[in-house]
């Protein structure tokens, strides 16, 4: 019985009947404007996710201060479901690169919230650390 390659048990799948071609994920549940649950956040204050054809585009807005207030838009590098048979997207990864910083955003839905993990690398020569933050957003 042929099985697809895996490196953990949760990825095991029987390929007896061949693999399915269509594993697209529907991003509908992720789309919209998400507001930080922390009104005094000095990080990302708002995230807008919208569909452009088959792509999802992320646009974060930041409180400002030491970071640019508008990071512009970036397409999701990939969408992610909740398991190997999922049809709905609950997660995404996007990259932003500006003159003074770059960030990898890894976001996922959890209990109606959008959880946004941000790995920020500062390129401004300020001597400050690269840092990780995790914030929660609601619609």
Partner 1 sequence: MESAKASRISGGRRILDSHPGGAAIDPQPLVGTWMNTNTGSRGITKVSVSTKDGGVVVRAFGACEPSPCDWGESYADVFADDPDSIEGNAFNAFYDFGFMETRLQAHIRQGLLVVAKFDRFKDNSGRANYFSKEFFFHAAE
Note the residues at the interface with partner 1 (CB under 8 A): 2-13, 15, 19-23, 25, 66, 78-87, 90-91, 93, 104, 106, 108, 117, 119-134
CB of 136 to partner 1, least distance (A): 13
Smallest separation, CB 1 to partner 1 (Å): 9
Query: What are the backbone angles phi and psi of residue 9, rounded to the nearest 5°?
Result: -60, -35
Half-sphere exposure of 26 (CA within 13 A, CB side): 6
CB of 52 to partner 1, least distance (A): 19
Tell me phi and psi for residue 115, to 5 degrees.
Answer: -95, 120
Q: Which is nearer to partner 1, 21 or 39 (CB)?
A: 21
Q: Which is nearer to partner 1, 42 or 138 (CB)?
A: 42
Compute the distance between CA of residue 43 and CA of residue 30 in angstroms, rounded to an integer. Answer: 20
CB of 78 to partner 1, least distance (A): 5
By C-alpha distance, which of 54, 48, 26 is closest to 36?
48
DSSP string, 120-131: EEE-SSS-PPPE
Nearest CB to partner 1, comparing residues 72 and 123: 123
Q: Which is nearer to partner 1, 51 or 130 (CB)?
A: 130
């Amino acid at each position: 019985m042929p099985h697809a390659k895996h490196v953990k048990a949760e990825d095991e799948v029987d390929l007896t009947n061949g693999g399915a071609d269509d594993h697209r994920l529907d991003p509908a549940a992720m789309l919209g404007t998400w507001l930080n649950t922390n009104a005094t956040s000095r990080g990302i204050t708002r995230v807008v996710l919208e569909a452009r054809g088959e792509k999802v585009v992320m646009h974060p807005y930041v409180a400002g201060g030491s970071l640019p207030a508008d990071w512009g838009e970036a397409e999701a590098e990939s969408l992610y479901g909740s398991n190997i048979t999922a049809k709905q997207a609950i997660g995404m990864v996007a990259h932003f690169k500006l003159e003074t910083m770059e960030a990898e955003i890894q976001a996922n839905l959890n209990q109606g919230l959008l959880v946004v993990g941000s790995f920020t690398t500062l390129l401004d020569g300020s001597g400050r650390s690269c840092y990780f933050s995790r914030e929660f957003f609601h619609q």
